[in-house]
Amino acid sequence: MARAGSAKAQRMERLQAELAQGRALHISAVSKLLEVSEMTVRRDIQQNPGKLGYLGGYVVPRGMFEPENSYTLDMAADQQRDAKRRACEIALRHVRAEETIFIDCGTTLIELVDLIPNDMRLTVVCYALNVAERLAHKPNVTLVMLGGVYYPASATFFGPEALATISSLGINVALLSAAGFDWARGATCAHFHEAEIKRKVMATASRNILVIDTSKIGRLRSVLFAESTSFDAIVTELSGDETSQHPAS
């Protein structure tokens, strides 16, 4: 066990030295450099979120993204609450009765759950415990909870069964959240398993709506899950601001 830990530490030291000048290396190049599998590289990144990130297939050093080591739902819930609620009021326009929608994890879209009228009939797919708890009180919502292993940091579930369930559903609208958004890089989140769910849902849904408050714009987190052009609309709190186009330079 000590030998394995030592090998991991040596890999981290070598990789950090390679990335010290602010470089980014493709994961396949890192795999060859360290003489380990790409799966091992991903595991090393996951276990060192304050030092490394993974963006669009590239391993990047701290400083090119914002780590979320200290992120908790309780901390996030109070941040930008009014802006989140306003963004969700606008996003609610994309929700139509009798449709199947997906609601992402985090604290932004919790506000949208509260805004769903009690008399609106919907099928709602989710994988976050805090979202499911709120939806369970909606009398006309059919709740589809994706299963798997529970991840307490984000109160989410993930596993092969979750991905299989998504493939079997007809999702009209996916309402997605992001911990960071950059027009050039795209939408990012803090956890690898969240990114897998988001990508799978986006490949399945007829319409993909990103819902964020403007404090997220210009930030990068450790895992890229979609380019900015992948969304049918990007909704913020700014007076009905809704766009799927890159802003004019």
Is residue 151 within 8 Å of 191, Cβ to Cβ? Answer: yes
Q: Over 50: is that where the pLDDT of 78 sits?
A: no
Task: Report the distance separating Cα 95 and Cα 221, nearest Å.
Answer: 28
Q: What's the Rg (C-alpha) of the chain? A: 19
Half-sphere exposure of 134 (CA within 13 A, CB side): 20
Q: pTM above 0.75? A: no
Task: Report the distance separating Cα 214 and Cα 157, nearest Å.
Answer: 27
CATH code assigned at 194: 3.40.50.1360
Q: Over 50: is that where the pLDDT of 55 sits?
A: yes
Is residue 123 domain-shared with residue 21, that is, in the same domain?
A: no
What is the chain's mean pLDDT, rounded?
A: 85
Instruction: Give, as one character, the DSSP assignment of residue 211.
Output: E
Q: Over 50: is that where the pLDDT of 73 sits?
A: no
Parent domain of 130? 81-235
Instruction: Give, as one character, the DSSP assignment of residue 174.
Output: E
Is residue 212 within 8 Å of 84, Cβ to Cβ? Answer: no
Q: What angle do CA 89, 91, 94 make, to 5 degrees?
A: 125
Is residue 114 domain-shared with residue 221, that is, in the same domain?
A: yes
Is residue 125 domain-shared with residue 217, that is, in the same domain?
A: yes
Is residue 224 within 8 Å of 54, Cβ to Cβ? Answer: yes
Report yes or no on 75 lying in a domain. no
Predicted confidence at residue 240, as pLDDT, reads: 57
CA separation, residue 120 to residues 123, 138, 140 (Å): 10, 9, 6
Q: Over 50: is that where the pLDDT of 242 sits?
A: no
Is residue 44 domain-shared with residue 121, that is, in the same domain?
A: no
Nearest alpha carbon to residue 222 among 70, 34, 108, 61: 61
Segment 153-172 mean pLDDT: 94
Report yes or no on 223 lying in a domain. yes
- CB atoms < 10 A from the CB of 209, how many? 24
Report yes or no on 107 lying in a domain. yes
| For the chain, percent of residues with pLDDT exceeding 90 | 57
Is residue 48 domain-shared with residue 164, that is, in the same domain?
A: no
Predicted confidence at residue 247, as pLDDT, reads: 45
Is residue 153 domain-shared with residue 190, that is, in the same domain?
A: yes
Is residue 86 domain-shared with residue 15, that is, in the same domain?
A: no
Task: Report the distance separating Cα 139 and Cα 118, nearest Å.
Answer: 6
Segment 119-134 mean pLDDT: 95
Report yes or no on 225 lying in a domain. yes
Q: What angle do CA 165, 55, 247 make, to 5 degrees?
A: 95
Structural domain count of the chain:
2
Report yes or no on 73 lying in a domain. no
Report yes or no on 70 lying in a domain. no
